[in-house]
Amino acid sequence: MAMNDSINILNSAYLAVEYIDSFLPDNPLQQPFKNAWNYMLDNYTKFQIATWGSLIVHEVSYFLLCVPGFVFQFIPYMQKYKIQQDKPETWEKQWKCFKTLLFNHFFIQLPLICGTYYFTEYFNIPYEWEEMPRWYILVAQCFGCAVIEDAWHYFLHRLLHHKRIYKYIHKVHHEFVSPFGMQAEYAHPLETLILGTGFFIGIVVFCNHVILLWAWVICRLMETIDVHSGYDVPLNPLHLVPFYAGARFHDFHHMNFIGNYASTFTWWDRIFGTDSQFIAYKEKEKKQQLITKK
């Protein structure tokens, strides 16, 4: 009975969104995107699209999303939004991070990306424009992927902090006490594989078109680069996402090496009480701000 009620609620929600979508104006970018997509299908094989297309989407998205945080360090006005103002970025750290990223991207992640084509073939995942899900379905699927990845990340990340394991794997990611955006994927190769597994679980569950692979890559990179940015910028659109953790939440984890283990949302840390030190820290910060104003 409960299952039927849930299905009815989801169907009603879908119909409501579909009804609202029918009143929205046509997206002026849809036709150019359709033309580009069909051009890609006509001129490249599925293997090239799944492999090299996915690599390009990942690399371009990653480094473009890192640009704002990188530029902020040169803008004095933005320094008031930097969370750990006493720990500025250095060229030495950023260069070290960049070299490690290139190794991880091309020697760890690229071999995994090479399996994308075989995944889409095995599960008969379509590439055609006509099979592409509507934008609201894609948004819902990406949110579902984020929920699954967040659960995986919380428990495995917390395990990697165990005193018997931490120094061998996760310590690499914590070399930078004050994180910056490019450091989001700076990690031990084993950590890349362990925590990266959570990324693929949602794909297995929800994927009904190759576009979801790329949409979820962009969403996940947007989130992880934001929480590692080191800047708590106001009017951040990601803060509109329910229960979104944000940069200040994850920055505290890098400062203290404990608590706030989830990647995207706050509920797992709230359920298990691993955000208690962060909550106490925020309350202390608020009191200090009130004293300063007086």
**For the segment 59-86, what is each residue's pLDDT rounded down to a tens digit?**
999 999 999 999 999 999 999 999 998 8
Least confident of 19-23, 115-119, 229-233, 260-264: 19-23
Q: What pLDDT score does 14 carry?
A: 54
**For the segment 16-26, what is each residue's pLDDT rounded down to a tens digit?**
666 566 666 77
First to last CA, the chain: 58
Q: What pLDDT score does 279 carry?
A: 93
231 closest CA partner among 62, 93, 78: 78
Is residue 266 included in any domain, yes or no? no
**For the segment 205-216, what is each residue's pLDDT rounded down to a tens digit?**
999 999 999 999
**For the segment 145-198, what is each residue's pLDDT rounded down to a tens digit?**
999 999 999 999 999 999 999 999 999 999 989 999 999 999 999 999 999 999
Is pLDDT at 242 greater than 50 in this prediction? yes
Q: What pLDDT score does 150 carry?
A: 98
Is residue 209 included in any domain, yes or no? yes
Segments forming the whole domain that contains residue 108: 48-75+90-233
Check residues 234 and 149 and name the one with the higher pLDDT: 149
Is pLDDT at 132 greater than 60 in this prediction? yes
Is residue 52 included in any domain, yes or no? yes
DSSP string, the chain: -HHHHHHHHHHHHHHHHHHHHHHSPPPTTHHHHHHHHHHHHHHS-HHHIIIIIHHHHHHHHHHHHHHHHHHHTT-GGGGGGBSSTTS---HHHHHHHHHHHHHIIIIIIHHHHTTHHHHHHHTT----GGGPPPHHHHHHHHHHHHHHHHHHHHHHHHHHTSTTTGGGTGGGGGG-SS--GGGGG---HHHHHHHHHHHHHHHHHH-SSHHHHHHHHHHHHHHHHHHTSSB--TT-GGGGSTTB--HHHHHHHHHHSSS---SSBSHHHHHHTTTHHHHHHHHHHHHHHHHHH-
Is residue 247 included in any domain, yes or no? no
Is pLDDT at 35 greater than 60 in this prediction? yes
Is residue 186 included in any domain, yes or no? yes
Is pLDDT at 43 greater than 60 in this prediction? yes
Q: What pLDDT score does 29 carry?
A: 80
The domain total for the chain is 1
pTM value is 0.90
- Residue pair 232/238 in contact by the 8 Å Cβ criterion: no
Is residue 122 included in any domain, yes or no? yes
Q: What pLDDT score does 221 carry?
A: 97
281: its two tokens: 């820290």
Q: What pLDDT score does 7 carry?
A: 47
Is residue 281 included in any domain, yes or no? no
Is pLDDT at 34 greater than 60 in this prediction? yes
Is pLDDT at 123 greater than 70 in this prediction? yes
Is residue 21 included in any domain, yes or no? no
Q: What pLDDT score does 166 carry?
A: 96
User: What is the share, in percent, of the chain residues with pLDDT greater than 70?
Assistant: 90
